[in-house]
């Protein structure tokens, strides 16, 4: 991105007032970027912004409450920041948002489907919508649009929810777009038994690593998580699919009206379980019931933390 030089200069300028600035740097191999915690000018030099920078860095913010933190955030990431502010899990005065125009994102599962073993990738480069991947045997030219994670296809963000500084290249278009939610549509075309079998099959593969929870920017309970506590004892150590299913429902329901559809849970899942679909469905219902989209308005009250004595959209059962 052309704006990266300008971005680095701005972070250098602001660093003396901040304890840390969170961004991305090149990771352990050509296809991975890693979160970068920048406290020195040398570390700022390592900052990168490209479609491999997939992590939603807002996840780190609640743990850094009390410190002066700068964060490099794409438009969708600022939605998570908005939700954290709505819930007073972070303080606006402690935060400096370096908002960057999103360069697009690469779903590494999709990349692996296209080029095979990612360990063999020697280099990957981006030129607008073209992605060039080199392995020892071949060079492939791919379309970034085909590699986008699902979350970038169902909701488009042109502008950040909040920003202190904004960085956009003059010729840069919005990459994310609003298309039909194919995962949800496919699920809705199944009958109930097929849906049950779908989840039973997928969730049976869950290894209960809890990566989906740990990466979620809105999961802030840490050791208090009821998936871990013995009192109350919601989940047993059995490997039964019901325990895994229950864990997903705990996560989904605790995120109801809060989930910003950042997709981190599904991205982090080592078993590629399509768990974002459950959250999307809840968000669709919340939108229909309460006309509410999480994280978009820092002053809004999340819908499950309030009520109307007469609920216009809820038709109660007559007996």
Site for other proteins, rule CB under 8 A: 187-188, 192-200, 234, 240-242, 245-246, 249-250, 252-253, 256-257, 277-278, 281-282, 285-286, 289-290, 303-304, 307-309, 311, 314, 316-317, 319
Distance CA 100, CA 78 (A): 10
How many Cβ atoms sit within 10 Å of the Cβ of residue 76?
24
DSSP H or E stretch at residue 43:
helix 41-45
Distance CA 58, CA 73 (A): 8
**The two structure tokens encoding residue 278:** 């459950």
From the list ligand SF4, other proteins, none, pick the one residue 142 interacts with, judged by a Cβ distance below 5 to 8 Å according to partner type. Answer: none
From the list other proteins, ligand SF4, none, pick the one residue 265 interacts with, judged by a Cβ distance below 5 to 8 Å according to partner type. Answer: ligand SF4
Question: What are the helix (H) ranges across 87-172?
Answer: 108-115, 144-147, 151-154
* Residue among 158 and 285 whose Cβ is closer to other proteins: 285
SS3 147: helix
Looking at the chain, how many residues does it have?
A: 319
One of 75, 77, 107, 261 touching ligand SF4 (CB under 6 A): 261
From the list ligand SF4, other proteins, none, pick the one residue 141 interacts with, judged by a Cβ distance below 5 to 8 Å according to partner type. Answer: none
304 touches ligand SF4 by CB under 6 A: no
Q: Considering only CA atoms, which of 300, 259, 292, 298 is closest in space to residue 91?
A: 298
Q: How far apart are the first and last CA of the chain?
A: 61
Least Å distance, CB 237 to other proteins, is 16
Least Å distance, CB 91 to ligand SF4, is 20
Distance CA 167, CA 213 (A): 31
One of 73, 76, 102, 269 touching ligand SF4 (CB under 6 A): 269
Least Å distance, CB 197 to other proteins, is 7
| Part in contact with ligand SF4 (CB under 6 A); list of ranges 16-24, 66-74, 155-163, 272-280 | 272-280
**The two structure tokens encoding residue 64:** 């850094």
* Residue among 34 and 243 whose Cβ is closer to ligand SF4: 243
* Residue among 50 and 260 whose Cβ is closer to ligand SF4: 260
The 215-234 contact track toward ligand SF4, x by CB under 6 A, reads xxxx----------------
* Residue among 77 and 266 whose Cβ is closer to other proteins: 266
How many Cβ atoms sit within 10 Å of the Cβ of residue 123?
11
From the list ligand SF4, other proteins, none, pick the one residue 220 interacts with, judged by a Cβ distance below 5 to 8 Å according to partner type. Answer: none
CB distance 144 to 188 below 8 Å:
no
- DSSP E strands in the chain: the ranges are 20-26, 33-38, 69-73, 95-100, 123-127, 130-134, 139-143, 165-167
* Residue among 84 and 131 whose Cβ is closer to ligand SF4: 84
Distance CA 188, CA 285 (A): 14
Least Å distance, CB 16 to ligand SF4, is 32
Q: Which residues bind ligand SF4 (CB under 6 A)?
A: 206-212, 215-218, 255, 259-265, 268-271, 273, 275-276, 279
């Amino acid at each position: 991105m052309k704006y990266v030089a300008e971005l680095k200069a701005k972070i250098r300028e602001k660093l003396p007032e901040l304890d840390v600035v969170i961004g991305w740097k090149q990771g352990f191999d050509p296809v991975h970027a890693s979160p970068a915690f920048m406290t020195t000018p040398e570390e700022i030099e390592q900052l990168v912004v490209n479609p491999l920078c997939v992590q939603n860095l807002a996840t780190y913010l609640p743990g850094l409450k009390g410190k002066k933190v700068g964060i490099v955030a794409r438009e969708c990431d600022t939605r998570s920041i908005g939700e954290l502010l709505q819930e007073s899990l972070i303080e606006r005065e402690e935060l400096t948002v370096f908002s960057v125009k999103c360069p697009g994102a690469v779903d590494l599962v999709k990349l692996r489907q296209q080029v095979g073993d990612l360990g063999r990738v020697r280099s990957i480069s981006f030129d607008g919508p073209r992605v060039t991947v080199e392995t020892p045997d071949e060079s492939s030219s791919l379309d970034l649009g085909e590699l986008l994670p699902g979350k970038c296809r169902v909701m488009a963000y042109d502008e950040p929810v909040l920003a202190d500084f904004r960085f956009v290249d003059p010729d840069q278009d919005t990459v994310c777009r609003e298309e039909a939610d194919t995962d949800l549509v496919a699920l809705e075309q199944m009958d109930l038994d097929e849906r049950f079998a779908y989840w039973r099959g997928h969730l049976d593969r869950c290894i209960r690593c809890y990566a989906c929870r740990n990466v979620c920017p809105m999961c802030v309970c840490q050791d208090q998580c009821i998936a871990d506590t013995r009192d109350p004892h919601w989940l047993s150590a059995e490997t039964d699919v019901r325990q895994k299913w229950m864990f997903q429902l705990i996560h989904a329901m605790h995120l109801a009206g809060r989930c910003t559809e950042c997709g981190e849970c599904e991205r982090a899942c080592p078993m590629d379980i399509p768990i974002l679909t459950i959250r999307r469905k809840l968000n669709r219902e919340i939108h229909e019931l309460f006309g509410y989209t999480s994280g978009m308005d820092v002053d809004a009250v999340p819908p499950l933390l309030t009520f109307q004595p007469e609920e216009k959209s809820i038709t109660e059962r007559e007996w």
